[in-house]
Amino acid sequence: MLENLPFANYILGAFIGIGLAAATGFRVFLPLFMVSLGSYLGWIPVNDSFEWLAGLPTLIATGIAMVVEIGAYYIPFVDHLLDTISIPLATLAGSLIFASQFADLGTFPLWALALIAGGGTAATIGAGFAGTRAASTATTGGLGNSVVATSETAGAGAMTLLALTAPVIAAIIAIVLLVTVLVLGRKIWSKIRTKRRGDSLTTIEVEPIDTKTIE
């Protein structure tokens, strides 16, 4: 169906890129490893600028990083430390993996689009899951974080596979996730601001009137 549309390669590349970028919002290195593995085995074509993704050193490096990242999220307190660096890493990985799907765009248009679409998608979804983990810690004392970590890993794998096999579906899911995170995030932020205003009003102390001064 897409083959008959003008600029079909760009449209398909955008769908794949958004799906893969969304996957990096769940886990940074798992999508990179899967793309590197697919490229190394010749299942996923890469353009000349990203041939290094298909190299054995990249495959080994992303594989080790993937295992370390997945395991670290099951360690209490370490998962919170990772949350502080996961969003910048997800932004970088999302931009990179989105850009790898395009070959004919100029350097500036390519990376501008990659940063906005790929990096923005990854960062937004990553921030949403970091907030979910923070809420889990606050409500369960960290006991529910392993459930969140497992769902994130599963989501990263599923989104990566969908992006490579059913990119249109992956892009739709990514957009739904983006809208959900933005809407929920806005509601939560609004509640926090309202609570802060209420707390500030209740802490205002009224000084007693000095009746002697009035007399």
Computed over every residue of the chain, the mean pLDDT equals 82
For the segment 141-170, what is each residue's pLDDT rounded down to a tens digit?
767 788 888 999 999 999 999 999 999 999
Contact (Cβ atoms closer than 8 angstroms) between residue 92 and residue 29: no
For the segment 3-31, what is each residue's pLDDT rounded down to a tens digit?
555 567 778 888 999 999 999 999 999 99
Q: What pLDDT shows up at residue 206? A: 47
Q: What pLDDT shows up at residue 80? A: 76
For the segment 102-145, what is each residue's pLDDT rounded down to a tens digit?
766 666 677 888 888 899 999 999 888 888 777 777 777 767 78
Q: Which residue range is the domain that position 66 belongs to? A: 2-214
Phi, psi of 195 (to 5 degrees): -65, -40
pLDDT band at 196 (very low <50, low <70, confident <90, very high): low
Residue 187 predicted with pLDDT over 60? yes
Q: What is the pTM of this model?
A: 0.80
For the segment 24-51, what is each residue's pLDDT rounded down to a tens digit?
999 999 999 999 999 999 888 777 778 8
The residue that leads in pLDDT, 186 or 128, is 128
131 burial via Cβ count (<10 Å: 0-12, 13-18, 19+): middle
List helix spans (H) across the chain: 8-26, 29-40, 56-72, 78-99, 107-113, 120-140, 145-165, 167-202, 211-214
Residue 78 predicted with pLDDT over 90? no
Q: How many CB atoms lie within 10 A of CB 90?
A: 30
Q: What pLDDT shows up at residue 28? A: 92
Mean local confidence (pLDDT), 88-97: 91
Alpha-carbon distances of 91 from 22, 129, 215, rounded to whole Å = 10, 14, 68
Number of domains in the chain: 1
